[in-house]
A and B are shown apart, each in its own frame.
Chain A
């Protein structure tokens, strides 16, 4: 899978899902409406940087804390096509993959990225090109690539049920 877009960088470690999507908005079910609350507890002005296809970059332990899937749902609805971080918290990473949103750990790319630089990601090869410079991550495990290829966990399960 090849993904292209502009970088949006959150240059902090341990960014939790509470600041990415505060608890007071957890009664929202519509992803488009969720997108209006994305980054609310961190820096609402980051939403202004979301213009077209976006690759979001984070620091260490990105997405720590609550399992709220509102975060990747809001990200997807806001045009974020891929998340690259120095490292991920487990549940957030699962949630992204399950929703078909590639989430790749690549410390070098996360350190090199600056907001609005052009980015190109090759999920199979695990390469992240930031402003023309290629950084190589450890590719996602085959099972996660299979989920992403299927479009996420729900279509993957639907297809396996159909296959029997």
Chain B
């Protein structure tokens, strides 16, 4: 019996001779990541097990959630993380040096196909976009990885998601993954890996793949894998020194489930409050007024997203009833958007442009919603209270749709705004 891509990656990172779904394995990590929330907790647990991390070259810390520090406590957490990073000799992306962890690690070449990456953040599954088994865990799991370089894992089954055809206008990676979550449900992929194949998958850019893999966890999955291909290779060329090979599932691999999404038939989708699985066509909610637009986060704060937002906001203004926040995911993206004139375009339109931060996406700071307010965001979660008041509502959508809502002050098809 052949193996799935997920099984092959795990087999290459453990001592077992063979693996099948449901088996337990101790799996070695290539990269261990923690941020300013889980990092200090993990450091505290590590101290109970070991004085040093297993391999400083494989550990990366990013201050992004509370960045810039929202209060004294947050400042102290970040100071503790920084001091600990220096003491351990590990890579630390401080304020002004990095950005939002998942976009950053991909951009900086930490992630290569076939690798195993553990992060103290549920959206570590984003790395599946490059064919890496990225998986999110809690602080104690990450502390274990920091101590011994490995973690316990139940080998997941794999749901094969065939993406067929090419996206039409104003459809993005976000819509593809919302369609997948709508089919699977928010727990449909629990203890599973997703694997995206088909001509529709191969046609997607890395940014679209990142947006898709990022939300694999919203269906409950361990990770969401795109087998490495020419698009992956072109992206990694000159970006990383780490060796990698393109693996794929064997032709006779056994999949737990098969799902086909006709990408060419998709229109823009929206996840309604209060679940990423509460998905509806954009037209169903057109006309709902919007108080705040948020374009950013580890799912959709890339150049692709900012350019989409700029398509809509160019020469237009944010509606008087609406606030708009644009959050480039990393310093590099920020500078690129600056060089392309996008940041000026956003500010001229009446948006504010934030420094890279997780900020309001998780209800931390810098854009919190009041009771009774409604937001549309390119983020990945719209749980009750996620961005502030439990009485606020969050709608999830792609950057074209979010920007169109900023202009109209209500949910509207972007074609109606740009006249396409």
Interface residues of A (CB under 8 A from B): 14, 16, 18-19, 22-24, 26-29, 41, 60-61, 64-69, 72, 87-91, 94-95, 98-99, 141, 143, 147, 152-154, 157-158, 161
**A98 — which chain B residues lie within 8 A by C-beta?**
138, 140-141, 144
Q: List 28 A-B contacts (CB under 8 A).
A: A14-B275, A16-B381, A18-B384, A18-B385, A24-B368, A26-B37, A26-B364, A27-B74, A28-B73, A29-B44, A64-B187, A66-B381, A67-B137, A68-B38, A69-B138, A69-B140, A91-B122, A91-B136, A91-B137, A95-B137, A95-B138, A95-B141, A143-B152, A153-B143, A154-B45, A154-B144, A157-B148, A161-B148
Number of A-B contacts defined by CB within 8 Å: 130
Instruction: Tell whether, in the assembled complex, residue B187 and residue A23 are in contact, meaning their CB atoms are under 8 Å apart.
Output: no
Asked if A41 contacts B385 (CB within 8 A), the reply is yes
Q: Which residues of B (1-48) have their CB < 8 Å from a CB of A?
A: 24, 37-38, 40-41, 44-45, 48
Q: Which residues from chain A contact B143 at a C-beta distance below 8 Å?
A: 153-154
Point out the residues of chain A lying under 8 angstroms from B73, CB to CB.
27-28
| B27, chain A: closest CB distance, angstroms | 13
Q: Which residues does chain A contribute within 8 Å of B191, judged by CB atoms?
A: 90
With contacts A68-B138, A94-B137 taken as known, whether A19 is within 8 angstroms of B37 at the C-beta atoms is: no
Cα distance A152–B45 when bound, in Å?
Answer: 11
Using a CB–CB cutoff of 8 Å, the interface residues on chain B facing chain A are: 24, 37-38, 40-41, 44-45, 48-50, 65-66, 70-71, 73-74, 77, 120-122, 136-141, 143-144, 147-148, 152, 154, 186-187, 190-191, 217, 220, 222, 275, 277, 362-364, 368, 381, 383-386, 390
Shortest CB distance A65–B (Å): 6
> Which of these, B38, B381, B384, contacts A41 with CB under 8 Å?
B384
Q: Which residues of A contact B222 (CB under 8 A)?
A: 90
By CB atoms of chain B within 10 A, which of A18, A60, A90, A154 has the most? A90
Chain B residues positioned under 8 Å from A91 (CB to CB): 122, 136-138, 217
Q: Taking the nearest CB of chain A, how far is it from the CB of B81, in angstroms?
A: 12
Closest to A43 in B: B390
Closest chain A residue, CB of each to CB of B359: A23
**Is B37 a contact partner of A18 (Cβ separation < 8 A)?**
no
Besides the contacts A27-B71, A89-B187, A157-B144, what 19 more A-B pairs have beta carbons closer than 8 Å?
A14-B186, A24-B364, A26-B362, A26-B364, A27-B37, A27-B74, A66-B381, A67-B136, A67-B138, A69-B38, A90-B191, A90-B220, A90-B222, A143-B152, A147-B152, A153-B143, A154-B49, A157-B147, A157-B148
Question: Is B49 a contact of A41 with CB atoms below 8 Å?
Answer: no
Known: A23-B364, A29-B77, A61-B190. A94 touches B138 (CB 8 A): yes
Contact status A18-B38, CB under 8 Å: no
Among A24, A72, A87, A99, find the residue whose CB has the most chain B CB atoms closer than 10 A: A24
Whole-angstrom distance between the Cβ of A42 and the nearest chain B Cβ: 8
Residues of A within 8 A of B137 (CB): 67, 91, 94-95
Q: How far is the CB of A25 from chain B (nearest CB, A)?
A: 10
**Are A153 and B144 touching (Cβ within 8 A)?**
yes
By the criterion CB–CB under 8 Å, are A157 and B49 in contact? Answer: yes
Across-interface contacts of B37 in A (CB, < 8 A): 26-27, 68
Query: Which residues of chain A are near B277, meaning CB under 8 Å?
Result: 14
Query: In the bound complex, do residue A161 and residue B363 qualify as a contact, i.e. CB atoms below 8 Å apart?
Result: no
User: What is the minimal beta-carbon distance from B390 to any residue of chain A, in angstroms?
Assistant: 6
Which single member of A22, A65, A95 contacts B381 (CB below 8 Å)?
A65
A68 to B358, CA, bound (A): 14
Q: For the complex of A and B, list the 9 residue pairs with the smallest distance between their C-beta atoms, beginning with the closest.
A: A23-B363, A61-B187, A69-B138, A95-B138, A23-B362, A41-B385, A98-B140, A67-B122, A27-B73
Residues of A within 8 A of B65 (CB): 26
Contact B383 A19 (CB under 8 A): yes
Whether the Cβ atoms of B24 and A143 lie closer than 8 Å is yes
**Chain B residues closer than 8 Å to A99, beta-carbon distance:** 140
Bound state CA distance, A72 and B222, in angstroms? 20
List, in ascending order, chain A residues with CB within 8 A of B220's CB: 61, 64, 89-90
Q: For the complex formed, measure the closest distance between the CB of A134 and the CB atoms of chain B, giving whole angstroms.
A: 26
A18/B383 in contact, CB under 8 A:
yes
On whether A16 and B364 interact (CB within 8 A), knowing A61-B186, A64-B186, A69-B38, the answer reads no
Contact A27 B77 (CB under 8 A): yes
Within 8 Å CB of A89, what residues of B?
A: 187, 190, 220
**Chain A residues, Cβ within 8 Å of B364:** 23-24, 26
Q: Is the CB of B41 within 8 A of A29?
A: yes
Q: Which residues of B contact A41 (CB under 8 A)?
A: 384-385, 390
Residue of A nearest to B387 (CB): A23
Closest-by-CB residue of A relative to B222 is A90
> A64 vs B181: C-alpha distance in the bound complex, in angstroms?
14
**Residue in B122, B277, B364, B381 whose Cβ sees the most chain A Cβ within 10 Å:** B122
- Chain B residues lying within 8 Å of A60, measured Cβ to Cβ, are 187
Closest to B185 in A: A61
When A66-B362, A67-B120, A90-B222 are in contact, do A153 and B141 touch as well, CB less than 8 Å? yes
For B187, give its contact among A28, A29, A87, A141 (CB under 8 Å): A87
Distance to closest chain A CB from B388 (angstroms): 8
Asked if A161 contacts B38 (CB within 8 A), the reply is: no
Nearest-neighbor residue (CB-CB) of B24 within chain A: A143
User: Are A158's CB and B48's CB within 8 A?
Assistant: yes
Contact A90/B138 with A153-B144, A157-B144 known, Cβ cut-off 8 Å: no
A51 to chain B, nearest CB (A): 25
